[in-house]
Chain A
């Protein structure tokens, strides 16, 4: 994104198509960011794709604890022709952490959305195979959340092996 004006123009174009899609814009350290409403993610990314942002580089999660809505999902887009990057961000509350999956349109999001689900508990509606990816399948809790303590995993010793349920099964 060359400047803040270009970002505003882009945001206005997106607002013309769907008035509720773009909530806010931010131009930070020479890079444009769009903060959008979670419901509009698939449509917005499709519109940005039509404007040249054809490569989805990264999907990652953030926990904004103690702010609300707490959980954020970020999408890093690249326009390879104009060599331009754009970040699309959205926020969902922990009480209803549901976002539409973009995997049907962008196959690269498959593993990355699974990681966000695994670490933060964001549910991606329409994901073909939403399972844990890095943590064990029977793991409880979402370890990257800010209120999940470091060392929250009990270490298995002889004296507590009876109390750690399920490890021997």
Chain B
């Protein structure tokens, strides 16, 4: 028995020495030999490949199994959403921007509405801010669950995807309950949220808050103690803080390298300063830290939701400024002004004072910054989303150079790009 054990540990040592050696430096200096083992193979991965998490194409130069170079080629799902937004009234832009990063629709809407609110100088009621936080954090958990399930699938853990999608389904049901839609909910509006939460939602949400940590514990136990997962993630493709900052990387990827930059703490918006939560950070910046940081973020988001639900203040769910938000339905039957406001808002929309605003928020993948330029009319002159996936994708090349092709797949999973956000 001990002999066998010794053999295994020796083998593992060998494996680790291969994985952890700085291959990147060796490969560039190594002269290309004539034999086939040294031949450079250009391999095209994608655009239709399950491991690329969307329509991403990777042009990989391989020397044996070692990645020499990788070029991401994007634009396959570019639909010109930013151009479309310029042709819509301000409130009709919300469904458009929600379709950019399709796993973070609340965040897209929040970044956009925040920018327009800053231009309009509209005060958002406290209750609306809390309702936004509840939905944003549910969305963050949902996005992380999709990431966890599909990433584990890439590593060969097939059952994870079903466990994660089970919980994601619970969240989507909650979204449907409060907003009427599972995805692209159009819930966050300029000045607040479209509707107050329905009766019974709070109980269902409390149930979710109570059960989610134990489910996350199960996922952590399934993966964190799994030898294959550890071998695939620990020590592979690390990037240090300096490189990540240079590449403009934000979100869990940056925090995995030890930089605790999180806009919810650094520059709180939407009442995030009211909640007690921690920011998980890693130490090595390798794939395991990226995995661990996101997993820990699920617990923190649950904590925030719990606090927001408990401290949910009374009051209006959207601003009472009738020039911006629709009047309540019942007023239309009795009030002439309400009817006029309704008519004006639905036909023309509202005019926004001229100016340019960049509104950043912390999403599941990093900084979602929405730039809105107004020329004083009822349609934005420019809407641009600084999508974290688009910027973070640049970290692929420095991360995987000199690693094995299998680690490329694992790293891409841990970078968590969403192609809808990259291509917009």
Contact = CB atoms under 8 A, between A and B. Distances in A.
Given A54-B245, A133-B74, A83 B266 contact: yes
A136 B76 CA distance: 9
Contacts of B75: 132-136
B3 to A, nearest CB: 51
A110 B261 contact: no
A111 B373 contact: no
B77 to A, nearest CB: 9
A111 B390 contact: yes
Contacts of A150: 83-84, 86-87
Given A60-B384, A60-B386, A143 B245 contact: no
Nearest to A33: B356
Nearest to A152: B83
Nearest to A109: B248
A167 interface: no
Interface string B386-424: 100011011000000000000000000000000000011
B373 A62 contact: yes
A80 B384 CA distance: 23
A112 interface: yes
Interface residues of A, number: 37
B404 to A, nearest CB: 24
A91 to B, nearest CB: 12
B363 interface: no
B78 interface: yes
Nearest to B357: A29
A111 B390 CA distance: 8
Contacts of B381: 62, 146
A25 B15 CA distance: 58
Contacts of B83: 143-144, 150
Contacts of A143: 80, 83
Contact of B386 (A55, A58, A106): A58
A29 B119 contact: yes
Given A28-B356, A29-B357, A60-B371, A106 B84 contact: no
A85 B261 CA distance: 14
Contacts of B86: 146, 150
A29 B353 CA distance: 12
Contact of A87 (B82, B87, B358, B386): B358
Nearest to B75: A134
Interface in B234-262: 245-250, 259, 261
Given A63-B382, A150-B87, A108 B391 contact: yes
B97 to A, nearest CB: 14
Contacts of A58: 248, 358, 369, 371, 386, 391
A154 interface: no
Contact of B78 (A31, A57, A111, A134): A134
A62 B382 contact: yes
A127 interface: no
Interface string A119-151: 100000000000011111000000110100010
Contact of B247 (A62, A108, A115): A108
A56 interface: yes
A132 B373 CA distance: 24
B367 interface: yes
Contacts of A110: 394
A74 B371 contact: yes
Nearest to A65: B381
A144 B386 contact: no
Nearest to A132: B75
A107 interface: yes
A83 B269 CA distance: 14
Contacts of B328: none
Contacts of A115: 390
A8 interface: no
B386 to A, nearest CB: 4
Interface of B: 74-75, 78, 80, 82-84, 86-87, 118-119, 121, 245-250, 259, 261, 266-267, 355-358, 360, 367, 369, 371, 373, 381-382, 384, 386, 390-391, 393-394, 423-424
6 contacts: A29-B118, A54-B245, A57-B248, A62-B356, A106-B248, A134-B75
Closest 8 CB pairs of A and B: A108-B248, A58-B386, A134-B75, A134-B78, A60-B384, A107-B246, A83-B266, A29-B118
